[in-house]
Structure 1
Amino acid sequence: MTTHRFELSHGATLVEPGRTRFRLWAPDSATVGLEIDGRAPQLMQAEAGGWHRLEIDCGAGTRYRYRVSPDLAVPDPASRAQAEDVHGPSVVVDPAAYTWRSDTWRGRPWREAIFYELHPGAFGGFRGVVEHLPRLKDLGVTAVELMPIADFFGAHNWGYDGVLPFAPDSAYGTPDDLKALVDRAHELDLMMFQDVVYNHFGPEGNYLHAYASSFFREDLHTPWGAAIDFCNPVVRRFFIENALYWLEEYRFDGLRLDAVHAIPERDWLVELADTVHQTITDRRVHLVLENDDNDAGLLEGAFTAQWNDDAHHAAHVLVTGETGGYYSDYAENPAQALARCLEQGFVFQGEASAYRDGAKRGSPSAHLSPLNFVFFLQNHDQIGNRAFGDRLAAIADPDALKVGLALLLLAPQIPLLFMGEEVGARDPFLYFANYEGELAEAVKTGRRKEFGKFPEFSTEEAQRRIPDPNKLDTFRKSRVDFAATDEWSSGWLDFVRGLIHLRREVIVPRLEGVRPASAQALNPHALQARWILGDRSALVLAANFGAEPVRLPPVPGTHLFSHGAKADAVGLGGKSFLAILDETS
């Protein structure tokens, strides 16, 4: 039975029971006062470099704020918990209050990862996720990824509007509830991953501009406002400590870093990864990127893998036939684009993107392992950023979607499922928030204007049909009914569970040292790919998303799985799939 804590350079730190050290970086404030509920304010000691410090007698559960100017008291930017949402007082937390049961846990090899991404609020908070863990283990997933949990304004939010990155949002539960979730997952042999947002703060509740303006750059703006200044050593350390905090104090098995292309200081990303790997040496920890820049160099040792948007976009065109927006870059020959992903990683490896007005994107990735890429057909972005939150099961031909799922779950790339995908959920997953007043109106109007660029939403009347993110019903509609036992849901569940079982029993044990051999488009809607597995056997997958049959090149070996009519070693019927293992290679 063990406890875990990570000591932060910022915030409130229990130095002994009943005594706490407070430390705030406020370079714009000549004086800072500590205000504790029920006590007279106390002046903090100013230190070099804009720091303010005070150590006093108080313990866990103490509520406090920092008075950074005569008319402004703010929460702790490194708050471990909040008492009354993002504008309220912060709470002193004792990290050692939770006793871990699974302290012998050392993680799992990356090749075993089968991800399941979920929104904690849609599952009823941290305790609600705990209740689903046995179901997820039975499904066969090995890694549960939480969408961001950093404290945000309101009772519900997508998660990417957090403003207090060290505080699990109280709408989901307490810090100990989150630790109990990770602990239970480890007892069930499941990895736990946390999605973290280091490229921006949300629009409500971020007070850093008022007392630490140098946290941000004046010369660079992102879609979310002023860019965070990762050239500043205090800022760099703030976020590196955040990563270590989730990995050490909460025992997460890895992090997914959101939209790092919005962080221009690439060297900071490398520093973060190096620091994590040098600090945590007693168990496996995995770092995953979302990076629209397709920077292959970051996957050569610093980071474990990247979400492969290229593979998603090509697969989405094949499954749905949609070619608008960024899908236009993959529309001409989507099977060829997806084949390139299966063989070489990225589609864009320095080529010009027509969708991006000819801008070049990406770097060569053919030398990387297939395990450096996370493959998905759906995720929070690709569903929630649609006007009506459409899931594939609601808009795609079921057989074409099953071909996509078979390819997703049997290809060597690391697969990711989005919550509800395993039961063929057709209810939407919408963008939702809980803002009030002018901000709520701005968010609603801005989202509708964004979709106004599309012909189907060119009129105000059409735009009004787009759900208001701030309505409670928008959030409620985004939940999945996992209790459904109808033929549709059970059929999808059996299909997905069977594929995962096949992956875990036959493919995963052979993935160490896997390398691509070839991949080719058979026509714009069909492809075949081949990999040499670690035991020198060959895995061959052929997928036909189109309606017309196609012939295959000769494929020797043992039949592993097929879906669709006339799927055999010499041909694929319309919307069919074939998997073969050749152990003589």
Structure 2
Amino acid sequence: MTPSAAAQRPDIAEAVGSTHDLPFGAQLRADGSVRFRLWAPGVDGITLVLGEELPDLPLDRQGDGWFGLTVPAVPAGTPYRYRLPDGTEVPDPASRHQRGGPLGPSIVWDPQGYAWRAQGWRGRPWHEAVIYELHCGAIGRPGGFAGVIRRLDDLARLGVTAIELMPVADFVGSRGWGYDGVLPFAPASVYGTPDELKQLVDAAHERGLMVLLDVVYNHFGPAGNFLGHYAGAFFDGSRVTPWGPAIDFARPQVRAFFRHNALYWLEEFRFDGLRFDAVHAIEDAAQPDILTEIAAAARAALPDRHIHLILENDRNEARRLIGTPGPAARFEAQWNDDFHHAAHVVLTGETDGYYADYAHDPVVRLGRALAEGFVYQGDWSERRGESRGEPSAHLPPAAFVDFLQNHDQIGNRALGDRLTALAAPEAVEAMTALLLLSPHIPLLFMGEEWGSRQPFPFFCDFEGELADVVRQGRREEFAQFAGFDDAAALPDALDPDTFDSAVLAPAEDDAAAALRLELVGTLLALRHRVIVPLLADRRIGPGINRSRDRMLDVAWMLSGGGWLRIVAHLAPGPGPAWEKPAGEIVYESVAGLAGSLPGGIAGWGLVAALEQPA
């Protein structure tokens, strides 16, 4: 939707700014003064270094490790830093904007400076979500927040209803995935200013698209994090995560930092939801724990908007998802790795690493993921040597975000290769139909809609010893995988050419790309017409799994007594004889395929039907 068309919409009111009142950081006030506040329990004093010509100002002690000062007449755009007693100058950990990234000065920013156009936007209900995950720096050339805006019209026409941004918290260097952010309140300056990020969110809303943001609350990046210099109590010295020191959520100051961060993105930037990265790496014994506390705060603060909270949680904790009784059940959905892993084994035959737990009867396991959500619901994992997960069959289908590809599952491969390089086109097409017609929430990774063959390797921008550690760590990681014995072939994550190779090129100008794009558009149109109405008001419930060998057969009960049923042969060659679904055939991957089921269909194929009670 263009701005001129948006002006005709009754839900777009007079443009005004928005802000979240942070109790720390640099808060610009209506009278032009700025209140500076920093938690620094590890030092005896803090000096505010303000601008280039103004005198340095000592902050006042305020108790419990807090320092603060209100300074009159500080204009927006003024640079500032904090100086520690040893002379080290550090950025504000709650900086709204940085000049030149975390190693540059923090900038006093006016959150009211952006005038929103889609002022009346209240979001979309979760069951309408079709998610498109993207990297702001690698979405195309030129990238950044403006580069994402250039893709919005195409995505809206395709049938996408939500874009999900990989993390944008500011990080050291000119390129990275975003999971090494160190300033959680400052949009990465390499992508644009805070107002340019707001412009992206606004433009998406004008086109009816939700915007979700991936946030990282389990660690800080290894470069540019100065908290240890003055607030070592921010971290739990007895525990580390796979990515660095663990955060100590037992401290109220730390809890407030992340609770306000979530509210900041939702209120000040008007994101429609957050995806919480790797929450299984968060340990918090408090009741309620930090995740429940954040979710409760978000629901209470924004009761008149559709706010969607999604987990990445290797523990498969069904109790956190809406549909399970209890105060922790405040999250719409979880990224469903079980679906991906089973589907990947079916498509590629790979059984290395975590795929080993899906090697036996992968189609049956895939059917369980579709019918009940998790494959591992307290079941024993041979690879882990322990049980994993909680029962999930009671949850609604929309509690699970399914995907065939995402940043992790492509970029954490040695070569960053996509499914197009690993599986036959007809196999990927059949599985794409399954992904987009299932009542679970589907997610596509950028370029997947046209079957991009371009790798998405891991990339970062560190220097010195840290760069060497990253290189060596990746060599050691992939040396454990069967079939990978060529360390020289491993892309150097630190090489700018590796990033350049990941920047999404335009759709391949060939028949295969055109056909895949047409297929995805057709499937999404069918999803919005047939599947989405069934997800509203719990009109469809958990399913039953009748899969066997390489035949998938899953059905979900409708509130009126019928069934949504998907039958698929997920293998090359001839399939066994199978019952033809009764009722309306809503999709066949090949015309007439449903009628071929009793005789056994040949090759990869899928049929979806609405079966009504007799």
How does the TM-score come out when normalised to structure 1? 0.97
How far did 1:64 drift? 0.4
List per-residue Cα deviations over 1:327-379 (Å, max 9, x = no partner).
110111001111111111101111111111x1111011111111100010000
Find the residue that maps to 1:34 and give its secondary structure: strand
Deviates more, 1:540-549 or 1:417-426: 540-549
Instruction: Indicate whether 1:495 and 2:532 are aligned.
Output: no
Corresponding residue number in structure 1 for 2:487? 463
Residue 483 of structure 1: how far off its partner (Å): 4.5
Aligned: 1:311 with 2:339 = yes
Q: 1:416 aligns with which of 426, 443, 452?
A: 443
Q: What's 1:579 paired with?
A: 608
* Partner-residue secondary structure (3-state), 1:456: coil
Task: Report the Cα distance in structure 2 between the residues aligned to 1:488 and 1:406, rounded to whole angstroms.
Answer: 16
CA contact (8 A) 1:399 1:564 kept: no
> Which segment drifts farther, 81-90 or 378-387?
81-90
Q: Give how far 1:37 is off.
A: 2.4
Give deviations 1:296-319, integer Å, cap 9, x for gaps: 000133111000000100011111
- Shift of the 471–534 alpha-carbon distance from structure 1 to 2, 3 Å rule, reads farther
From 548, 560, 568, the equivalent of 1:543 is: 568
**Aligned partner (choices 31, 36, 56) of residue 71 of structure 2:** 56
Distance 1:166 1:307, change over 3 A: same
* SS of equivalent to 1:551: coil
Q: Which of 476, 479, 483 is equivalent to 1:452?
A: 479
Shift of 1:520: 1.9
Is 2:40 the counterpart of 1:13?
no
Structure 2 counterpart of 1:215, one-letter code: F
- In the alignment, what sits opposite 1:152? 171
Give unmatched runs, 5+ long, in structure 2: 1-14
Query: Contact 1:192–1:252 (CA<8 Å) still a contact in 2?
Result: yes
SS of the aligned residue for 1:148 comes to coil
Residue identity opposite 1:217 in structure 2: D
Amino acid at match of 1:329: D
CA distance in 1, matches of 2:589, 2:177: 35
* CA deviation string 1:80-126 (max 9, x = no partner): 01012111110011000001111111110110000000000012010
1:521 partner amino acid? S
Return the match for 1:393 from 420, 426, 449: 420
| 1:552 has 2:578 as partner | yes
| Mapping of residues 163-562 of structure 1, within 5 Å | 163-265=182-284, 267-299=289-321, 300=324, 301-356=329-384, 358-458=385-485, 462-512=486-536, 513=538, 514-523=540-549, 525-534=550-559, 536-547=561-572, 548-562=574-588
The Cα of 1:226 is off from its aligned counterpart by 1.6
Matched residue type, 2:42: D
Corresponding residue to 2:60 among 45, 61, 85: 45
Q: Matches of 1:252 and 1:167 in 2, distance apart?
A: 15
The percent of aligned pairs where both chains have the same amino acid is 50
Measured after TM superposition, the shift of residue 214 of structure 1 is 0.6
Q: Distance in 1 between matches of 2:31 and 2:167?
A: 31
Residue of structure 2 aligned with 1:133, choices 149, 152, 160: 152
Shift of 1:439: 1.4
**Do the aligned partners of 2:394 and 2:542 also contact (CA within 8 Å) in 1?**
no
> CA-to-partner distance for each residue in 1:144-176, whole Å, 9 max, x for gaps?
000000001111101111000000001101100
Q: Is the 8 A contact 1:565 1:573 kept in 2?
A: no
| CA–CA separation in structure 2 for the residues paired with 1:372 and 1:133 | 26
Deviation at 1:582, TM superposition (A): 2.0
State whether structure 2 residue 125 is matched by structure 1 residue 109.
yes
Contact map agreement 1:17 1:59 (CA 8 A) in 2 = no
Amino acid of the structure 1 residue aligned with 2:70: E
- Looking at structure 1, the residues matched to 437 and 85 of structure 2 have their Cα atoms a distance apart, in angstroms, of 58
* In structure 2, C-alpha distance between the alignment counterparts of 1:44 and 1:145, rounded to whole Å: 39
In structure 2, relative to structure 1, the CA distance for the partners of 1:274 and 1:545 (3 Å cut) is same
Shift of residue 295, structure 1, vs aligned partner = 0.4
Q: Greater shift after overlay, 561-570 or 547-556?
A: 561-570
**Which whole-Å deviations, capped at 9, do the CAs of 1:450-486 have from their partners, x for residues lacking one?**
111124345xxx2122011111111111122225331
User: Is the 2:352–2:482 contact (alpha carbons within 8 Å) kept by the matching residues of 1?
Assistant: no
Report if the CA contact (8 A) 1:565-1:574 is conserved. Answer: no
TM-superposed deviation, 1:405:
0.4
In structure 1, C-alpha distance between the alignment counterparts of 2:612 and 2:546, rounded to whole Å: 21
State the secondary structure of the residue aligned to 1:444. Answer: helix
Matched AA of 1:544: H
Cα distance between partner residues in 2 of 1:406 and 1:511: 18
Q: 1-side partners of 2:273 and 2:565: how far apart? A: 31
- Helix, strand or coil: the match of 2:603? coil
Q: Distance in 2 between matches of 1:517 and 1:111?
A: 17
2: CA distance between counterparts of 1:530 and 1:171? 47
Secondary structure in 1 matching 2:370: helix
Aligned to 1:122, the other structure's residue is in SS state coil
Structure 1 residue 534: deviation in Å?
Answer: 4.5
Give CA deviations for 1:220-263 in whole Å, capped at 9, x if unaligned: 11111221001111101100100000000000000000000000
Measure the CA separation in 2 of the matches of 1:339 and 1:271: 34
Look up the equivalent residue of 1:416 and give its one-letter code: L
> Separation in 2 of the partners of 1:483 and 1:532?
38
TM alignment of 1:53-132, pairs within 5 A:
53-57=68-72, 58-123=74-139, 124-132=143-151
Q: Contact (CA 8 Å) 2:450, 2:507: kept in 1 or not?
A: no
What's the CA shift for 1:70? 2.4
Indicate conservation of the 8 Å contact 1:511/1:534, yes or no.
no
- The question of whether the paired residues in 1 share the 8 Å contact of 2:211 and 2:271 is answered with yes
1:562 maps to amino acid: E
Matched residue, 2:5:
none
Instruction: Say whether the 8 Å CA contact 2:580–2:594 is kept in structure 1.
Output: no
CA distance in 1, matches of 2:31, 2:516: 53
Q: Tell me if structure 1 keeps the 8 A contact 2:132–2:162.
A: yes
* More off after superposition, 157-166 vs 571-580: 571-580
C-alpha contact (below 8 Å) 2:452/2:508 kept by paired residues: no
| Separation of aligned partners in 2, 1:271 and 1:293 | 19
**Inter-partner Cα distance in structure 1 for 2:117 and 2:372:** 42
2 CA distance for matches of 1:34 and 1:11?
Answer: 12
After superposition, give the CA deviation of every residue in 1:175-220 in whole Å (9 maximum; x if it has no partner).
Answer: 0000000001111010000000000111100000110001000111
2:229 corresponds to which letter in structure 1? Answer: A
Question: How far did residue 413 of structure 1 move?
Answer: 0.2
Give yes or no for contact 2:312–2:335 (8 Å, CA) kept in 1: yes
Give the drift of 1:553: 2.8
SS of 2:548's equivalent in the other structure is strand
What's the CA shift string for 1:282-306, capped at 9, x where partnerless? 2110000000000000013311100
2:493 alignment partner AA: P
**Structure 1 residue matching 2:351: 3-state secondary structure:** coil
